Amino acid sequence: MSDLTHIDADGNAVMVDVSNKDDTERVAIARGSITMQPETLARIMDGGIKKGDVLGIAQLAGIMGAKRTPDIIPLCHPLNLTSVKVDLTCDPDRNAVDIEAMCKLSGQTGVEMEALSAVSIAALTVYDMCKAIDRGMRIGDVRLVHKSGGKSGTFEAA
């Protein structure tokens, strides 16, 4: 018998049954970053990328990514998100764009995957928009930093 919630006793993949769980307010915050050449970051900050406003488009892509998470992650429940916020900030000292996403709902299952998807999709969008000038960009350190709500309570990353 597996301790994994998405595997049944016969080893088959299953979507977890959450029908007996109580609705609670659930919040998840994820972070990540994309590092690049200093010239690339300068062009993002100056609005000099031909494809458009990198940070604005990546923000929208992150929000859309959170909303579409069950379409791209197998066995993820479709959720009625009540809030998705994605913030991108430039850090010239690290030649990086830092990304934070917060997802929230009142429901029977958590929103960790939606927050992680939002960060990942936002970072991939930055890469896509800037790859013509910097193919060496690195997406990294995508992680859950906060989770609250539900039976397991609150998680805060160290």
Strand ranges (E), the chain: 24-35, 83-91, 96-107, 138-148, 155-156
Catalytic-role residue among 87, 128, 134, 141: 128
Query: Which DSSP string corresponds to 54-69?
Result: HHHHHHHHHHHHHHTH
Distance of alpha carbon 34 from alpha carbon 54, whole angstroms:
13
**Active-site residue, 128 included:** yes
Q: How far is CA 7 from CA 11, 15, 117, in A?
A: 5, 8, 22
The residues carrying an active-site annotation are: 128
